[in-house]
Structure formats: structure tokens, C-alpha cells
Chain A
């Protein structure tokens, strides 16, 4: 089976007053219908990865290199009409703040219909029917009435449902979701997560879901890739990464989650802060904060170990723990 998405050796560098090496040698494969969570903290490059996939980064201020293929098509060289039909047609995105992502001067029906008219060539009337159908699918109560609402007339959870309806209206094969539940209340977040899980099954699309919350990643994804300093440091099935984390950073993140920490017990906090990425990392980026770091970790990039099929850990010492078992 050809992968739905194949990223090879992606580098993203922002130029300007300050250079930032946002993504460094990132490779990732997504099979059709797979749900992958990109897990990481702020500045780890997860959102930049999504924006690169849609080619949303300003070309003047960005140096890109590497290879991205969507269903075999080279994304890096797309332009004009082909790029426009790829964006929103084959691949679409749900953003963190639906209040900002939706247009305040059009009704939600008009916004969904416009996308369908452009990508599918339907008449306005038929496109409105699709919009209505989409609002029903995202379980918005009294959808017919809601079609004529403006975004500000809807609650946060409703707006995110509209955003999802908009993103899925053209039946994309890949959905990119950038922290779509972070701004929502807990009881609304779980509704949106379960809705996305259901729609993913129904439409059979691939999903890349960016989050900083491990619990959210567990709820939504079958695979997890952990990002740190613009690189993937660990990847595997959700089960493997949560039950058997191999990278010290993943282990630290899980420990910092407080899920089953005894009350008042001292937390195993990861010391320090992530690197600034002004220079391209030439050794393990996590070594300065790592409790297991060896001198060798500070001298060269860590080897990438592959303990199983589609399982990888970028850590010099991951081999020891594997050998010990």
C-alpha cells in the first residue's frame, strides 16, 4: 500500500532578524486512514509541520528542504491551481481558535457552501444542501436554522463543530488538526474528540492531530510521534509509546502528567527549558535536560533505533534498556 503521506528529511528554517531552525531532518509516514498524534510542547515544531504540509508558510521568510509526498504527488513543487485544489480539497485543516479561523461577515452556511462550490463545482443550491448535511453530521442541533447564523452567534463548541464541518465538506483524504480542543472546556473537549473519532471512522480519512496533551493523544490516535526541538524523538503505536516509552523526554512528559502521582509527592520534573534553536542541532537537543545523558550525547546526533516495525527512538541509550530486557 502506498503511504497517504510521506515526509523525508524535512528542514524548515525561518529567516529574519533571528534565524530559527524550526524543523530539523524530520521524516514521517502516514498510511491511509491512520490517525497520528504529534505530541510536543510549545516551540517543538508540531504546528510548523502542519503548516508546511499545507504550504502555508511565507516563502520569502522560510527555507524549506526535503521531500513531502501526498499520495505520490510532490507537494513541495505544487503551485497555482494544483496547490489550490490540494489545499482544502485533498487536505484540510482545523485550527485551534475557530473564532479566528471563520470569517465573521459570512454565515456558516455560506462559508461551507463556498468551499464545496470551489472544489466540487456544485451550484450554490446543491452546495447549501451539502452544508446542511455536514452540520447534521457534526451533530449541531437544529442545523437548518444554524446555516444562517454568523460565527459570533455560536458558542465555542458549536464553532469548532462548524470548523470541522467546513474542513470535511469536501471529503479530504487527510485532515490536519492543530490543537482543535485546547481552547474548549473539558466537557466540550471530550465531545469534540469523540466526534472526530467517529467521523474519521465514517469517512476513512487520515488524521494528523497536533496536541500538547497526552490524554488527548490517547483518546484520538492510534499512533503517536513525540516531537522535541523540531525533531521526532520517538514514534510508535499509542499503546507502545504510552505503555513503554523509550526516550527520556517521553518518559519525563508522562511523569509530568500528574495522572497517577501521589498527592504532594515530589514531581520528577524535567529541569531547564527547551533550546532556542538558533543553530541547527548537531548533538542530542535533549541532552542538556536529560538525566541519562552521556558525554557522547553532547558530541553527535543520537542514532535512531528501530526496536520494531514503524517504531523508532532517537536516543543513544535506548539500546541499553532494550538489551537489558
Chain B
């Protein structure tokens, strides 16, 4: 492995189960398996898109990465240094920053936006926090002379999200986690912010982890896509490969659920029935087997491992259909058309 291939961020077997307490004694009744054994690498300068439906654990994964939620198990390595062993959370946060979906809730309403942006730099003891903040405001397209003294409620949603991006960049981080960062914006404003994110990535050499439910947005901005279902990774591949072939039946359903843009060729049949199941007590074996059209007996009992579709391929999938030795009657034939 050459030096440039070494991952900037490496996540191994990340696990987070939330207890559900109830009853008079407040005892734990069940566990929500929000994130259950998630592993992936992100190379420097790369953008990894994470997609999945509500409850699949994509936001919990994001929060685990920057330590907003404590992990139960697993390793997070940044630049070869392990969080908790080699570097502290405080040091990690200088290198990994996050932008949230709700631009208003993520800003302190009593702080001017200049103070909000400068706050992190001040806390981390960086020099000239105000100067940094003003330069970044100008860079995200908000004139510091006009906007520095304003409060979050005086700005539009698009402007506030620009402020949140500036705030994330004030520490000169290596990685920015964008959790549905453009989802609440109107389409025309979303396009402006996506352009800004692309520019900033090139200018500052940033690495993004881009979480969204909108496949078109993820395709546009990402180099690789990671698909999650009920707390697990089911597929991981470069964008072009996954766009050409969705190897996991769930990924395929997710892609065919996208509304058609062709009035002459509208969707005729929903790819799945029912809602995604609850991550409390997920099904045994393959978690998708309860909704999968190709489920066989082996899917109900044996958990498929995530691995390359063919040896050495960057296209990874966790499905018995792709494993010739799995015992699935159609094993090795791939997903039927």
C-alpha cells in the first residue's frame, strides 16, 4: 500500500446500542441496535456518501465519529492515531467537524454569527479567532461588514447553513461530516450550497462524509457511496459502479424508489412494501430478509459478511447472493433482474 492509499479516517466495527428503559424500576427493556459493526475507510480528499432510510444509523454513525455519542465498541483512527488511545476527543474535534441539518437549532440564538464562528477557534486556543472567522464569512459569501453582528434569526436558511459551514471550517479541519446539511434547503439554494461545498473541498483539500437521503445529491458530490440498512453496511462502492449495478437487493429497491423524471415512463410498481422495520430487535440472519424478494433459508439464519464482489474489487456487498459458498440456491449468480 503506497502512502497516498493510506486512509485518513479508518472506522472498525463501530457499535452503538441505545437502551430503552421502561417499567416502574426504569430497567432496560430492549436495545436499539442503532449502529452494529460498521467499518469503512476514507482516503484524504475523498468524499464518502452515506445513504439509507430513517433508523438505518447514518446519523448515529456521524455522531460517533465526532464523539457526540459515546461508542460502545469499535475503533476510530484518524491519520493512524486511535481516538482515546493516541489522541483525545478534544484534539480529534480540531480535525473532524460537523454540519447539521437544522441550520437554526445548531446555532446559539444569543450569539452573533461572528462569535459563533470564532467560538471554536477561541476554545481551541488558535490565534486570531476573529480574523479567521471574518475571512471565512467572506469565503462562504456573507460580507463580514454587513453580517458579523447579526443573530441567527435574522438570516435565511441558506445563509445560516453557510455560517454553519464557516464555523466547521474555522479550525482548519481535515474531515467535515455533513449530516443532511442541504436537505432542509430549497432546491435553488441547495444548488448554491453544493457549489460552495465543492469549491471549499478543492480549496482547502477537505475530506467529506456526506450523509443524505437524496441519492441524486449524494451521486453528485461523492466519490464512493456507503449504503446502510438497520445499523449495518450493506453495500460500499465507487459512485459509477453502484450507479451501474446495485449489488444488494436493498440498494436496488432504494434506487428504484427514486421518483421518475420522465412523464412517459413513470414508476409502475413500488420496489418494497411496508415501512423499514424497527432497529429494536432487528431480524436475525440478514436484516433485510423480511423484505427481500430473493430471501432463501440461509438468509434467515446466517448473517452475510461485507466483502468485495470479486476478489480485489472496490465494490463491496453484504449479500449471500454474491457469495458462491453461502448455500443460497442462487448463490454466485448475483441479484436476478
A binds B: yes
Chain A residues proximal to chain B, CB less than 8 Å: 41-42, 141, 155-158, 185-191, 193-194, 212-216, 218-219, 238-239, 242-243, 252-253, 255-261, 263-264, 266-271, 273-274, 289
The yes or no answer to B194 lying at the interface (CB within 8 A) is yes
CB within 8 A of B188: which of A188, A191, A269? Answer: A269
CB within 8 A of A218: which of B198, B260, B273? Answer: B260
The reply to whether B257 and A186 form a contact with Cβ atoms under 8 Å apart is yes
Cα A268 to Cα B191 with chains together (Å): 8
Of the A-B pairs whose beta carbons lie under 8 Å apart in the complex, a sample of 8, sorted by A's number, is: A185-B53, A186-B254, A219-B259, A256-B191, A260-B261, A270-B192, A273-B158, A273-B189
Among A156, A186, A218, A266, max chain B CB count under 10 A is at: A186
For the A-B complex with A256-B187, A271-B192, A273-B156 known, give 14 more contacts whose Cβ atoms are closer than 8 Å. Answer: A41-B186, A42-B186, A158-B275, A186-B213, A190-B257, A190-B270, A191-B270, A191-B273, A212-B186, A218-B266, A219-B259, A263-B219, A264-B198, A274-B186
Across the interface, which residues of A come within 8 angstroms of B217, CB to CB?
Answer: 258
Cα A257 to Cα B156 with chains together (Å): 21
CB within 8 A of A189: which of B216, B219, B257? Answer: B257
The reply to whether B254 and A187 form a contact with Cβ atoms under 8 Å apart is yes
The yes or no answer to B128 lying at the interface (CB within 8 A) is no
Cα A155 to Cα B158 with chains together (Å): 31
Do A187 and B253 form a contact, CB below 8 Å, given A258-B220, A273-B158? yes
CB within 8 A of B275: which of A188, A238, A264? Answer: A188
Across the interface, which residues of A come within 8 angstroms of B283, CB to CB?
Answer: none
Among A156, A212, A239, A257, max chain B CB count under 10 A is at: A257
The reply to whether A257 and B261 form a contact with Cβ atoms under 8 Å apart is yes
CB within 8 A of A238: which of B54, B216, B263, B267? Answer: B263
Do A243 and B259 form a contact, CB below 8 Å, given A157-B274, A252-B188, A256-B190? no
Chain B residue at smallest Cβ distance from A185: B53
Within 8 A of A (CB), among B262-288: 262-264, 266-276
Across the interface, which residues of A come within 8 angstroms of B263, CB to CB?
Answer: 218, 238-239, 242-243
Across the interface, which residues of B come within 8 angstroms of A243, CB to CB?
Answer: 263
Chain B proximity of A266: nearest CB distance (Å): 6
Chain B residue at smallest Cβ distance from A264: B198
Within 8 A of A (CB), among B48-93: 53-54
Chain A proximity of B168: nearest CB distance (Å): 21
The reply to whether A185 and B54 form a contact with Cβ atoms under 8 Å apart is yes
Chain A residue at smallest Cβ distance from B272: A187
Across the interface, which residues of A come within 8 angstroms of B275, CB to CB?
Answer: 155-158, 185, 188
The reply to whether B187 and A215 form a contact with Cβ atoms under 8 Å apart is no
Cα A273 to Cα B53 with chains together (Å): 30
The reply to whether B259 and A193 form a contact with Cβ atoms under 8 Å apart is yes
The yes or no answer to B239 lying at the interface (CB within 8 A) is yes
Across the interface, which residues of B come within 8 angstroms of A190, CB to CB?
Answer: 257, 259, 267, 270-271
The yes or no answer to B124 lying at the interface (CB within 8 A) is no
The yes or no answer to B195 lying at the interface (CB within 8 A) is yes
Chain B proximity of A198: nearest CB distance (Å): 11
The reply to whether A215 and B258 form a contact with Cβ atoms under 8 Å apart is yes
Cα A155 to Cα B273 with chains together (Å): 13
Across the interface, which residues of B come within 8 angstroms of A214, CB to CB?
Answer: 187, 261
The reply to whether A215 and B188 form a contact with Cβ atoms under 8 Å apart is no
Cα A263 to Cα B47 with chains together (Å): 12
CB within 8 A of A194: which of B54, B213, B215, B267? Answer: B267
Across the interface, which residues of A come within 8 angstroms of B267, CB to CB?
Answer: 190, 193-194, 219
CB within 8 A of A187: which of B194, B261, B262, B271? Answer: B271
Across the interface, which residues of B come within 8 angstroms of A191, CB to CB?
Answer: 270, 272-273
Chain A residue at smallest Cβ distance from B291: A187
Chain A proximity of B130: nearest CB distance (Å): 27
CB within 8 A of A213: which of B54, B189, B257, B259? Answer: B259
Cα A271 to Cα B264 with chains together (Å): 31
The reply to whether A258 and B253 form a contact with Cβ atoms under 8 Å apart is no
Cα A191 to Cα B270 with chains together (Å): 5
CB within 8 A of B220: which of A194, A215, A264? Answer: A264
Cα A255 to Cα B194 with chains together (Å): 13
Chain B residue at smallest Cβ distance from A197: B266
The reply to whether A261 and B220 form a contact with Cβ atoms under 8 Å apart is yes
Chain A residue at smallest Cβ distance from B53: A185
The reply to whether B273 and A259 form a contact with Cβ atoms under 8 Å apart is no
Interface string of B106-132 (1 = CB under 8 A from A): 000000000000000000000000000
Cα A188 to Cα B275 with chains together (Å): 6
Do A267 and B191 form a contact, CB below 8 Å, given A157-B275, A187-B53? yes
The reply to whether B259 and A216 form a contact with Cβ atoms under 8 Å apart is yes
Chain B proximity of A199: nearest CB distance (Å): 14
Across the interface, which residues of A come within 8 angstroms of B257, CB to CB?
Answer: 186-187, 189-190
Across the interface, which residues of B come within 8 angstroms of A141, CB to CB?
Answer: 274
Cα A267 to Cα B217 with chains together (Å): 11
The reply to whether A185 and B276 form a contact with Cβ atoms under 8 Å apart is yes
Among B54, B259, B262, max chain A CB count under 10 A is at: B259
Chain B residue at smallest Cβ distance from A43: B186
The reply to whether A256 and B188 form a contact with Cβ atoms under 8 Å apart is yes
Cα A157 to Cα B277 with chains together (Å): 12
The reply to whether B259 and A242 form a contact with Cβ atoms under 8 Å apart is no
The reply to whether A259 and B191 form a contact with Cβ atoms under 8 Å apart is no
Across the interface, which residues of B come within 8 angstroms of A188, CB to CB?
Answer: 275-276
Across the interface, which residues of A come within 8 angstroms of B213, CB to CB?
Answer: 185-186
Cα A212 to Cα B276 with chains together (Å): 24
Do A270 and B188 form a contact, CB below 8 Å, given A186-B213, A186-B257? yes
Chain B proximity of A237: nearest CB distance (Å): 8
Cα A261 to Cα B266 with chains together (Å): 20
Cα A188 to Cα B266 with chains together (Å): 16
Do A263 and B260 form a contact, CB below 8 Å, given A188-B275, A191-B270, A269-B188? no
